[in-house]
A and B are shown apart, each in its own frame.
Chain A
Amino acid sequence: MLTEQFVAAISGSTKPNTGVTKDQGIFIHEFQPLAAQRHVFKKSATAQNGIAVSSTHIFAAQTEKAIVHVYSREKGNQEAIVPFPERIHSIVLAAQDTVLLLGAESGRVLAWEICSGRLVSTSTSHLQPVTSLVVDPSSNFFLSGSADAMIHVWALPSILSFSPDTSRSPVHTLSTHRGPVSSIACGHSSSTANIAVSTSGDKTAIVWDYHNGQALRTYLLPETPTAVTLDPADRACFIGYADGSLQTIDFYDDIQKSTSTDVLRDVSSSHRPMQPSPKTRFGAESQKLGATLSLSLSWDGTTLVSGHSSGKIASWDIAKSNYLSTLANLSGPVSNLHFLRPTGFSNTREPTFKIPTIVKPKQDAGLTGSSSGLVPPNYNLSMQFTGSLDAPSVSATGPRFAKTSSFAEALTHPSFPTSMLEESLAELNSWIAPSKGSIVTTAPLAAPSQTDDVEPSAASKDASSDEVTELKKQIATLKGVQKATVDQLLKLREEKEYLVNKEKKRGKAKRKTRASNGDNDVDMSDGDENES
């Protein structure tokens, strides 16, 4: 069964007398099948975009402080407090949760490899603190938004590269916004056709083709947006406002219906701002939710969950655009919401490594990059390797897939693989134990010897007897018997030859002795002659 959870974090406790412990800061809440709080991490207060969740850890950038708290999800405790040279305003995980990107106060982005402790920095391209960070699904690019109204697009591999001549400046700069960027959401495609949506204090939301640095469409919003999230299929985005209401912006709206081209990518219309229909806005005033601070979408894309300044987490039905329920009422403004990937899929691929503990950043270990462009000798990764890899060796002549070894196959087979049994049977048949006689060969011999006995007797009867009819009958039956036995004999010989030939082909098994060859019948010695 699937279990779907989300992580919520608050930006400081504001309700003193709610009965819960005061220092709770991060909450793991089960969404399905049973909505309930599952785990709590303490002593954390995070601003918006201040939480990053991996399969093993939770990272929380503390408000008004230059530290990041690291919590271990497995142990359920605080694992480390990591200090940084300046305040961190936003964090996000990249590269399969092995790199933590941190948006710093000075306007640069730091990249911390949590397995190695290497810490590299981008150029200080933003003029104000980096308040939002998103990574694209391929982990090749990340976007940073700042209060200076700029969005920079960076290439992660060149930021991480050891080579001294790679640029640590942005690939593109998206500068259409005229107000501080409040939040960014990145599309779900790994290809170059991916989009990103940003919202800004100038009451606009812009859809970007960040690979080319183009604005695709501008939406004029009724109010100042605070949070944005994208549909799993990138069909629409959802925007939260300061009054607690939400709005759906459908990229495939009326205009799309009347044209056959993809309007979102129509360059000719990109300069024309659009105003989404006011009907798409919805809220629940009676719930007294307060400003929307964070948004997250469930795995199936049908339920929107919003965190509010009152501490409430509300869920909304997207299709009906209405309020469903209040999932939780936390003790402070819910600044971060993250849905986790559901667990419990039947055939999940095991990751190739696990990071039970993080390595704190080493500021001065000479890991940032070497003049030669080579990997520094003290660049180490601390991780546990899980599962064995079946990495077939490179072969120009071999097949594409390496076959599993016969041992592994036999180990899990209901009895033994046929090939193994046949090989063994063949050896068994020709096996003559050093001490014992030829037990093997006597058994097939029984049949021919019987036929030899029968034949002369039949002939004699034929000569001597008077009652022809009875004898003829007898002869008929006996001939039948004879034929059957001869057939059997032939078959046995064939089988024998076949097995012996096969044995010869294998050529692996060794005979230990030739001593008792004399005991064998003609077949056997024939076979042996063939072999030798």
Chain B
Amino acid sequence: MAPMTTELATLRALSFRISSTVTAQLPQHVPAIAASLSSCRTLLSSTQTSNAKSSSEASVAVHKFRTLLSTLLQDRTVQGRWSAIVLIKATIEVGGWETLQKGLPWVRGLLSILSKPDPPTSKKLCIVTLTRIFMLTREYPTLVREITTPSLPAFVQAGLQIAGSRVPPSLLLTILESFSELLPRHPTIFRPHLKTLRPLLCRLVAPTPSSGLSGDQSQDAISTEISDAARRLLVQLPCCAPKGASSEEWENALRTTVGGVHRVADRVFRAVLEDWQSTVREASANGHALDGEVQDLEDDYLSLPPWSGIFAGSERLVGLIQLVRQYLNSPTTNVVTFKVGVVMDLITRILSLTIPTSGSKSFQNTVRINKQISKEERENLWLVMPAVHVAAIELFLSMARRLQASTLAIDTLVLDQLVWVFGSEKDNAQVRTACYKALAVLLERSGVTLPKSSVDSLVPLIRTCCEDLLPSETAPAVVKDTPGQAKSKGNSQPQGSANADSFLGSKTVSDPTASFPGLRDAAFDLLPELLSDVRAQLFSDFLRARLDRTAVLVQHKDAMLASVLNPPPSKKFGKPTASILPLLARSFQGDHDIEGIMRPRVPVIRLGNQDTELDGGVEEEDEAEVDEEEEEDVEEEAQADESFVGQELDTMLRTAGETDVVMRDSPTHMAAENPATAAEAPSKRPHAGETPLSPAKRVRFDEAKWTAAPAMPPAVSAAIPPVEDPKSAEIPATSDFTVSSTASAIPDLPAPGEGGDDSDDDDDDAVPLVFGQDSDDDSE
């Protein structure tokens, strides 16, 4: 009851603080009060029907607190109502069912605030609080019936009313987000309001701020957040369809949206003749409205507002592609048929129209130009294309993320298109970022199976990725490196363009990618995928060295690790290839991943060998292994004379096994021996061990076995007594080990520690070897 008393005191103090503060000053106190409310969780959520005295006190306190809030909610002042909103939110968060159940008056009060001329931010808080109440009641059907169902229609109505008027963007955003939270759960309540909601959203989903129309609504700028929230809500609308029809509605909505994208693209792309041929829809005759400005004044297809001008068109296009993407990002209530073919057709169309490069690469330069359209419009089209391409790649990324491995079939297709787009637009940082991200996804899924031709086509992209991560210091010179200059081979910079500042301290040259953290991150994430998921044979030595160098110089642990784990094939026969393992070890000392590579623990775990498994401590042995190694020498001596019989037996078995393997090398011998083995096997099943021994050894073994014990594994019975002697806590593990080590170490006595210190030896051997290799490589 002690915590309850503390909580009671806290609640009383809070109530007093609320009631004793002037309402006008209350808001300053409220954050503190709300924070302390969370410590009254038990009290507020407990049932107040128990009859103990303290609990009646508690119920009085809780009741008083609630009444206080209700009064505040009806307060005349804005401050009072504001305080009530915040406190109610804090209370229902901790209050549980008990508080919710008495929350109907609060909900009514909060709803009335929405229609009062309160500050927008306080309405915002109010909407959040109401949404939270509706969400919390979901788990309790009675509360849904009592609270949510009666009040939600009024809430939707009020929300729509606010959204319909001119409101601050943040309030509109809150309403949209609140609706998209509530709509999937209460489709029937929202259904009657769809008529109002849909036009509102259509205005927001794909805004065209640079539209040339100065017509009806010179609407305020719609922020990306709002259009994003509107898209999220719009794709949820099919939930409201009558029972069973929601999947169909969803599919129709998606199809219409994709159709809308094509429709806009028809207009925006009119300056060129596209090579793309749809697999889905018949190519629309590109003959409409070739004169005048590109525009769409009556979009009756999606009932979106009209737009005019190529820039507005591209904004609409991007907005609609993002709407398609949102269909993938949002959950669906039922099974839906997602038309991969249709969406891929759209992606293909957009990605196959690339900006012609002015360079000599003629194969990329095949865009056919529509002569009827002015040059200006065509050049404007090239200006907007990168943004459209980024949107299309984003669409693919969402598809890959949603459908996971089920898009395995289309991966190679997308890869080709990515390379294509990258080839012509790699100067655009956004396009580069998008390509890196998409490539990382593709490689992670099916990089290992990529053929050489695909990997070769990726080389420019990989080079740029390294460049973005590690800008070469001579980058400006490379750009200016015209063929004529290359011949003169010196510092014969044209004097006219020389920048006097460049002769001064150039140490402070800022990193050109510093202002593109997103680009850098995308390249950073791509690098380990390149090193781990592409077969090492498919990279040229030069490219591989470039990747390794980048990984080392940017100190990218994952990439270095990937490089070590996926070593390049050795070109020179018999010589191991260079590894950056030493650099990795230097850079990340004490890191667990590196420790795992350099001092692997796996081989120490031995399974199924009857010598080692007396107590079943196979798994524990793993952890305790390091300690055991240290103890080994001591234990070895101690055990040497104790478990005498078992050792002898084990030693014999070992030698028997070894000779046997050598003998088996000749297949004829094996064939001769096999029938004997088979014949013997059934009779000796319980002691199946001895069958393949050489005849001489078998006799000795059998003798030894019969003398040892008739029990099943002879070694066990012989070795157990010494093991059970010491009773200390760590015995199970050590005893287990010593039994095995005595068996294995005795024959190796001339070189003690060889078996046990296996991993350390390994380490010592490996490091100098690789070091030498690496320096070798550097000098080349």
User: Interface residues, chain A, CB within 8 Å of chain B?
Assistant: 95-96, 98-99, 113, 115-116, 118, 138-141, 155-158, 160-163, 166, 191-193, 203, 211, 220, 222-223, 231, 233, 235-236, 238, 243, 245, 247-250, 252-254, 256-258, 260, 262, 272-275, 277-283, 285, 300, 302, 317-321, 351-353, 356-357, 370, 372-391, 393-400, 405, 407-408, 410-411, 413-416, 418, 420-421, 423-425, 427-429, 431, 433-434, 436, 439-440, 442-443, 508-510
Contact = CB atoms under 8 A, between A and B. Distances in A.
A513 B565 CA distance: 68
Nearest to A249: B608
A375 B344 contact: yes
Nearest to B617: A319
A157 B406 contact: no
Nearest to A162: B409
Contact of A250 (B89, B125, B606, B713): B606
A293 B446 CA distance: 34
Nearest to A236: B607
Nearest to B429: A396
A277 B693 CA distance: 10
Contacts of A397: 429, 515-519
B518 A407 contact: no
A235 B678 contact: no
A376 B608 contact: no
A407 B448 contact: no
Contacts of A278: 688-692
20 contacts: A95-B408, A115-B406, A191-B566, A192-B566, A236-B607, A247-B608, A248-B607, A253-B606, A258-B748, A278-B691, A278-B692, A282-B688, A375-B410, A385-B330, A394-B518, A394-B522, A405-B229, A416-B89, A440-B24, A508-B168
A110 to B, nearest CB: 15
B630 interface: no
Smallest CB-CB A-B distances: 10 pairs = A248-B608, A415-B34, A424-B121, A415-B90, A95-B405, A396-B429, A279-B689, A407-B177, A319-B616, A379-B341
A391 B522 CA distance: 14
Contacts, number: 383
Contacts of B566: 191-192
Interface in B428-477: 429-430, 432-434, 437, 446, 448-449
A198 to B, nearest CB: 19
Contacts of A166: 412
Nearest to A442: B24
A377 B691 contact: no
Contacts of A260: 758, 761-762, 765
Contacts of B755: 257-258
Interface in B290-323: 322
A302 B607 CA distance: 10
A257 B664 contact: no
B128 A250 contact: no
B738 to A, nearest CB: 15
A443 to B, nearest CB: 5
Contact of B405 (A139, A191, A211, A254): A139
Contacts of B94: 414
A118 B27 CA distance: 63
Contact of B78 (A158, A414, A416, A428): A428
A250 B609 contact: yes
Given A278-B690, A380-B338, 13 more contacts: A96-B405, A96-B406, A157-B411, A157-B449, A233-B602, A275-B661, A318-B608, A384-B336, A394-B397, A394-B433, A411-B181, A434-B117, A443-B24
B336 A439 contact: no
A509 B168 contact: yes
A253 B446 CA distance: 35
Of B403, B449, B517, most A-chain CB atoms within 10 Å: B449
Given A379-B341, A415-B34, A274 B661 contact: yes
A352 B404 contact: yes
Contact of B82 (A282, A383, A428): A428
Interface string B747-771: 0100000110010011001000000
B169 interface: yes
B613 A319 contact: yes
A382 B664 contact: no
A245 B602 CA distance: 27
A446 B754 CA distance: 87
Of A235, A258, A273, A375, most B-chain CB atoms within 10 Å: A375
A398 B120 contact: no
B239 interface: no
A220 B413 contact: no
A377 B521 contact: no
Interface in B378-430: 390, 393-394, 397-398, 401-406, 408-413, 429-430
Contacts of B432: 396
B28 interface: yes
Interface in B698-741: 713
Contact of B325 (A272, A281, A391): A391
A253 B605 CA distance: 10
B613 A192 contact: no
A509 B338 CA distance: 42
Contacts of A352: 401-404
Interface string B256-284: 00000000000000000000000110000
Contacts of A379: 339-341, 344
